[in-house]
Chain A
Amino acid sequence: MAWKTINRQESVVDADAPSALSEAVREKIRSFFPRYETKRAVLLPALWIVQNTNGHVSHQAMVEIADLLEIHPSDVLDTLSFYTHFWTHPKGKKVVTVCRSLSCELMGGADVLAEVKKQLGIDEHGTSADGQYSLVTEECLACCDHAPCMIINEKTHKHLRPADVAGILADESNDRLAIPRSDLFDAPLGAVEGSGESASVDRVIGSTSDVDEMRDAD
């Protein structure tokens, strides 16, 4: 392919475009600085914050993050492109990830995928016209025992049949995690520090992680 050249000298960022990071987002990123020895270490939380706010991390956002963390934009691209779950272009409100690996395939995963495509009217990596859904496939969702399966945002839907798909996609809460609470290991809702009235079950489960704190701050 030496006869084709990609021009990497040209900027893909529109210099006149408004800032991709709002002051609130910047402040949220800055609030992570005291936690680490270097500003560079805030890169992953920063990418999460931006993705959670904007839905994706655009090239312009990457340049602005780099500026904020005092690192080169290439370092941001390096980290971002390593993780496949960061999006560089807009995605739908919910991402449907269908498994394409062996167990699911044997249990009829291909039919499920075809049904999802038909219901949403999009192909892989596409986003539905109303901006609600994006569709991707993954190698394995680590749910082979419940094959075939798919994930909507972070919720896993198991033992799927093509007939179930329409119902799941129509359900508003199809991406809400509802992990059953264990009386033995999980503290009751009211006992969780800082969880006010808006506390929900899924927040209790991971209330110690940075990611959840970032989500809380939204």
Chain B
Amino acid sequence: MTAACNGRLKLMPKIIIDNKEVECREGASVLEAALAGGWNVPHYCFHPGLKVVASCRLCLMEMKMPHPKTQELDWAPKLVPSCQTHVREGMEVRFDSDPVKKNVENCMEFFLLNHPLDCPVCDQAGECHLQDYSFEFGRAESRMVDEKWKNPKKDIGPKTLLYQDRCVLCSRCIRFTEEISGTHELTLVNRGSKLEIDVFPGFPLDNPLQGNVVDVCPVGCLLDKDFLFKKRVWSLESTPSVCAGCATGCSIRVDHAERVVHRLKPRYNPKVNDWWMCDEGRFGYKYVHDDKRVTTPTVRRGLEDSTPEWADLPGIIRYRLEENVQANGSEKVAAVLSPFMGCEEAWLLGKFIRDAAPDATLVIGPIPRSGEDQTFPIGATGDDIRFTISQEKCPNRRGIEMVLEAAGGKTLDFEAFVASATAGAFSAAWVVGGYPAEWLDKKLAVKMAAKIELLIVQDIFENPLMGGAAVVLPACAWVEREGSFVNKAGLIQTFERAISPPEGVPQDGAFFFALAGFEGLYTGERVREQMAGKIPAFADAYEAPLKPVHAH
């Protein structure tokens, strides 16, 4: 059988695992082939993103090897690590066999020899591969009669704890700091039965990618101080999403319970972030649950404030905008689209504004930037780069640009908009924020707000424009919305709604959907179908492939 690969037809090797023929990727290891084929092969030290060390000895299998004398294929007299053995056409391996089972059982017994069995107070319980594997492959009782080796936990960094007695010494975390972050903080000290993971005292684990060592740890040894004792993992729900921290656009998983986000975890995406994400993104969601968020819409006429029902708002806004356009002309209308908006939301708002005022100006909001792109391993260039944190601290500049380009007409950047608005060029404007940090210069904003008669401001937090706004609307954080972001490389990626917005606020997209005159339920997909007519790229958003069920 052949399959398309790099535009060529390439033969894919076939191997036989437990008498079943499996087709696998050229250059893959036997372990990867078995995992992709659905086998639950236990493994600790193997991680597809890191170098192979074959030290945990859990994935050992029976294999047919060429006999050193006759070169004929024959069963090797001992078990062979499958993570280290590449597939070859016609290879035969056995996983479901007595020697293999015996090996896993014995290995598990050694892994658990000094384990404190403190699952009730361990954060990893529920997603721990010591639990899973000992349940699946281990033996029920330990033969260890001596006292267990006790080892205190170590505070190895500002964000991470190391519980040495739960460690299986797979060295994934060490390889991560060596190969991906390039910072080398973690290391193995001592030897033999006294081997442990440690940092050099006074040189803590503190790099922008350090949170990943918690993800790669297959057991409860490395734990996140931020998530520690916050929630049991089995009460968390996971929603696939895209990180909104920077323009890299890492695929992530939002873990939440009872409308509260508890943690973000990276999701495998070979085109963007592989298996990793940065700490800035990982812990950057906290603003979502800030008390200071705007949660009620306000409409002002003269000196009177009112809080209308959400259902009445589209009518009110439409009426006030039409009134303004009739009085001042449609070229005096502007809309500022924030780079924190999804493409769908930007497109819907742009459509609404252009429908009401065909000559309206569309503006892209300010792009928050900080420093330079950070590449990893630290200082890597070109092909050596394994991970990049973008200097552009917003998720969707490219998407907004695509929407503005498709919309045509008059477009401005934010600086030019501020300049002409303070000069009195606009009588009506819709300004969308959504920035986690302050984003407006107070003096300029007040000056601008005074010149715009009908100012509609939509933001997560209060901003200086709101004082002079005719309509103030709460906005939603990205975990409360669904839609798509376009990362700096131009990849369109969709994100789903993880939690509902506070206090009955509709998600931005649904509100714009009703405002733009669409009927029925808002979904990102429905809007993308509409958008695809104008921007064909949106017909096909990128979805990262799923990892095999038993891979970790």
A182 interfacial by beta-carbon distance below 8 Å: no
Which of B139-147, B150-158, B262-270, B308-316 is near enough to bind chain A? B150-158
Q: Which residues of B contact A10 (CB under 8 A)?
A: 201-202
CB within 8 Å of B: which A8-22 residues: 8-13
Among A75-83, A119-127, A146-154, A189-197, which stretch is in contact with chain B? A75-83
Chain A residue at minimum C-beta to C-beta distance from B166: A2
Interface 1/0s, chain A 1-34, versus B by CB < 8 A?
Answer: 1101111111111000000000000000000000
List the B side residues contacting A94 at CB < 8 Å.
none
Complex Cα distance A193/B187, Å? 42
Q: Which of A74, A78, A81 contacts B203 (CB 8 A)?
A: A74
Contact status A74-B153, CB under 8 Å: no
Q: Number of residue pairs across A and B with beta carbons under 8 Å?
A: 85
Q: Is B135 an interface residue (CB 8 A)?
A: no
A6→B162 CA distance, assembly (Å): 10
Q: B184 near A75 (CB under 8 angstroms)?
A: yes
Q: Does B121 sit within 8 A of A, measured CB to CB?
A: yes
User: In the complex where A2-B153, A9-B155, A9-B158 touch, is A78 in contact with B188 (Cβ < 8 A)?
Assistant: yes
* Cβ A75 vs Cβ B153 within 8 A: no
Residues of A within 8 A of B150 (CB): 1
Contact of A8 with B152 in the complex, beta carbons under 8 Å: no
Q: Please state if B201 and A71 are interface contacts (CB–CB under 8 Å).
A: no
Cα–Cα, bound, A77→B191 (Å): 12
**Alpha-carbon gap, A73 to B201, bound state (A):** 9
Contact B189 A73, beta carbon cutoff 8 Å: no
B439 CB-CB contact with A under 8 Å: no
Chain B residue contacts of A63, Cβ below 8 A: 200
Interface code A78-111, partner B: CB below 8 Å = 1, 0 otherwise? 1001101000000000000000000000000000
Q: Which residue on chain B has the smallest CB distance to residue A73?
A: B200
Any chain A CB within 8 A of the CB of B105?
no
Query: What 0/1 pattern do residues 97 to 122 of B give for CB contact below 8 A with A?
Result: 00000000000000000001010010
Q: List, in ascending order, chain B residues with CB within 8 A of A2's CB.
A: 116, 118, 121, 152-153, 163, 165
CB of A47 closer than 8 Å to a CB of B: no
Q: Is A43 an interface residue (CB 8 A)?
A: no
Q: Which residue of A lies closest to B151 (CB)?
A: A1
Compute how far the CA of A75 lies from the CA of B151 in the bound complex, rounded to whole angstroms.
22
A118 at the interface (CB under 8 A from B): no
With A2-B118, A72-B185, A75-B184 known as contacts, the answer to whether A59 contacts B201 (CB < 8 A) is: yes
Is B155 a contact of A8 with CB atoms below 8 Å?
yes
What's the nearest-Cβ distance from chain B to residue A211, in Å? 20
* B200 touches which of A4, A7, A62, A84 (Cβ 8 Å): A62
Q: Are B190 and A82 in contact (CB under 8 A)?
A: yes
Instruction: Give B146-186 as 1s and 0s: 1 = Cβ < 8 Å from A's Cβ atoms.
Output: 00001111111110011111000000000000000001111
**Partner among B152, B157, B188, B189 whose Cβ is within 8 Å of the Cβ of A9:** B157
Number of interface residues of B (CB under 8 A): 33
Given the known inter-chain contacts A81-B190, A81-B191, please indicate yes or no for A12 contacting B151, CB distance below 8 A: no
Chain B's closest residue to A77 (CB) is B200
CB distance from A63 to the nearest CB of B (A): 8
B198 at interface by CB-CB < 8 Å: yes
B183 vs chain A, min Cβ distance (A): 7
B residues 68-118 touching A (CB-CB < 8 Å): 116, 118
CB distance from A15 to the nearest CB of B (A): 10
Q: B69 to chain A: closest CB distance in Å?
A: 36
The answer to whether A9 and B191 touch (CB under 8 A), given A2-B163, A4-B153, A72-B185, is no
* B199:A8 contact, CB within 8 angstroms: yes
Contact A5 B202 (CB under 8 A): no
B154 touches A72 (CB 8 A): no
* Cβ-defined contact, A77 with B198, below 8 A: yes
B204 contacts A by Cβ under 8 Å: yes
Using Cβ atoms and an 8 Å threshold, which residues of chain A touch B201?
8, 10-12, 59
A2 to B154, CA, bound (A): 9
Asked if A71 and B184 make an inter-chain contact with CB atoms under 8 angstroms apart, the answer reads: yes
Chain B, residue nearest A72 (CB): B184
Checking B152, B157, B163, B200 against A74 with a beta-carbon cut-off of 8 angstroms, the contacting residue is B200
Q: Would you call A5 and B155 a contact (CB within 8 A)?
A: yes
Which residues does chain B contribute within 8 Å of A73, judged by CB atoms? 200, 203
**Known pairs A2-B163, A7-B155; A77 contacts B202 (CB<8 A):** no
Contacts of B186 in A (CB 8 A): 74
A1-B153, A6-B153, A11-B202 given; A74·B185 CB < 8 A:
yes
Within 8 A of B (CB), among A53-79: 59, 62-63, 71-78
CA separation between A75 and B178, bound complex, in Å?
10
Chain A residues with CB below 8 A from B187, complex form? 72, 74-75, 77-78
Complex contact A74–B184 (CB within 8 A) = yes
Residue numbers in A under 8 Å from B204 (CB-CB):
8-9
Interface CB pairs A-B, < 8 A, 17: A1-B116, A1-B150, A2-B116, A2-B121, A2-B152, A2-B163, A5-B154, A8-B204, A9-B157, A12-B201, A72-B184, A72-B187, A74-B199, A75-B187, A78-B188, A81-B189, A84-B191
Given contacts A6-B153, A8-B162, A74-B187, 10 further A-B contacts (CB under 8 A): A1-B150, A2-B121, A2-B153, A4-B152, A8-B156, A8-B198, A9-B204, A76-B200, A78-B187, A82-B190
**CB-CB nearest 10 A-B residue pairs:** A11-B202, A72-B184, A4-B152, A74-B187, A73-B200, A81-B189, A78-B187, A9-B204, A74-B200, A1-B152
